[in-house]
Amino acid sequence: MDMSMPRVRIAPSPTGHLHVGTARAALFNYLYTKKYGGVFVLRIEDTDLERSDKKYEKDIFEGLRWLGIEPDEGPEQGGPYAPYRQTERTHTYKKYLEKLLAQGKAFYCFHSQRELEEEKDGLLEAKRPSLHMCEYRTMDPQEAAMLTETKPDYIIRFKTPAGHDIIFHDIIRGDVSFSSDLLGDFSIAKKIDVPLYHFAVVVDDEEMKISHVIRGEDHIANTPKHILLAEAMELPVPAYAHLPLILGPDRSKLSKRHGATSVAEYREAGYLPEAMFNFLALLGWNPGGDQEIFSKEELANLFSLEHVQKSGAIFDTTKLDWMNGEYIRAKSVGELTGLCMPFFSADASQKNHAYLKKIVALEQPRLKKLSEIGERTEYFFRLPEYEGELLRWKTMTNQEIDTALEHTGKLLAGMGEDALKSDFEKSFFDAIGEGNKGALLWPLRVALTGKKASPGPFEIMEILGAEESLKRIRLAQEKMRHV
């Protein structure tokens, strides 16, 4: 196998939405192949028939595509080692299983589920490792084969060698050692044509000529089992690299209680794929230096598994928000308006594109997520709702507020419908002179938006126009009569 042209893979199970941890693993595999000119394979491990669902498989495809992680081979792309779904590869596993059984390296286990559960409970009660050292491992293979005819509820187990040290070099963690005595005789198939995870993954990696297995740290305990199986079948052992876990702010494994965990949730929340790609790439790996915004090409050129950290990586949503904001500000107003369309309120559909572009241009410097555009700009599409008390600046009396609004109305009445921000500024500041700006501008801004915080009133009036702005001033005066 040519290790200078790496073949890597991710092999998600379609039993749930694409998790950010799986996406990060896919991204690191993708960057590794881009750096070294290799091949990135997507394989679907769908042998869990009860939990696998095509809708989750579709979610995996769409999530990776949205992030810009395109496999070179996979169920959609095809490739020289198709098919790329485990359920379509059962004929392949059968021949390997038959060979292991014939060589006495695997065996039939006839224990019932009840017996196994009782054994497990007993071991736990005795505070001993929950390992199954199966008594059927010494049964004559021919006798066992005959017994399968009358006891069809068997499973197939691997005959784990005793007293064997499994040592492998992890590209990220260095040398790792396990004792085979801590593994037990683990199951590898439900039936001769129904493989389980540990067995299927080893066969698939061989059949697809995978040179490097880059996956999460939670798989590290599986690696000795996979090495034992590969050696038993006289297959080459791939290079391994186990990525650090993704942690929440409390340093526990990232879960729903920390917030969103799927790629789809971040997409729906208004994060840009480029920002998510950049953020995930730096989740457990750092190229050095202070730079944090990178193009995909820069990340691929700089990427190195040797510089991936060993300790867990904190999923910092505050940093993701900052990074997303940076990518939002790098967009042209036209492109950003198109991206914001799904997030505007329903009333926005009544407005023309030019009007929406003005609103997006106004909010672009402040947005962290596209989803914020709806709530932040609703007052552009319908009259604002607010309590009259909000119009009060400091200790202004009701009469002073009404006077300020009346003054504002007179200034607006003299403005043209196409007046610009600069026109409003000049008119108002000339009128205010050395007076209290807040006393005039605070009631004006609240009357326009109904909000405590918003962009400046002059930018808002330029978009609303003088006529609509004057209408809102009159409504504010009416509201003050009931305060």
Nearest residue to 224 (alpha-carbon basis) of 262, 194, 181: 181
Q: Are 162 and 180 in contact (CB under 8 A)?
A: yes
Measured between alpha carbons, how far is 28 from 13 in angstroms, rounded to an integer? 18
- Catalytic site residue from 256, 310, 421, 437: 256
Question: Cα–Cα–Cα angle for 197, 283, 67, nearest 5°?
Answer: 75
Q: Is 380 exposed, middle or buried (0-12, 13-18, 19+ CB in 10 A)?
A: buried
The yes-or-no answer on residue 256 being catalytic is yes
User: Could you tell me the two tokens for 181?
Assistant: 């005595």
User: Could you tell me the two tokens for 399?
Assistant: 């009469």
User: Could you tell me the two tokens for 441?
Assistant: 């501008």
Measured between alpha carbons, how far is 474 from 459 in angstroms, rounded to an integer? 19
Question: Within 10 Å of residue 371's Cβ, how many Cβ atoms?
Answer: 16
Backbone angles phi, psi at 165, to 5 degrees: -90, 125
Q: What share of the chain is helix, strand, coil (3-state, %, to 5)?
A: 50, 10, 35
- For 11, 63, 370, the CA distances from 331, given in Å and listed in that order, are 34, 22, 12
Strand partners, 179: 165
Q: Are 20 and 261 in contact (CB under 8 A)?
A: yes
Measured between alpha carbons, how far is 403 from 357 in angstroms, rounded to an integer? 34
Backbone angles phi, psi at 408, to 5 degrees: -60, -45
Q: What is the dihedral of CA 406, 408, 414, 417, to 10 degrees?
A: -120
Q: Which residue pairs, CB below 8 angstroms and at least 24 apart, start in 393-397?
A: 393/438, 393/439, 393/442, 393/443, 394/438, 394/439, 396/439, 396/443
Question: Cα–Cα–Cα angle for 40, 204, 92, nearest 5°?
Answer: 140
Give the HSE-up count for residue 368: Cα atoms under 13 Å, Cβ half-sphere.
8
Give the HSE-up count for residue 97: Cα atoms under 13 Å, Cβ half-sphere.
24
Backbone angles phi, psi at 315, to 5 degrees: -85, 100
List, by residue number, the catalytic residues: 256
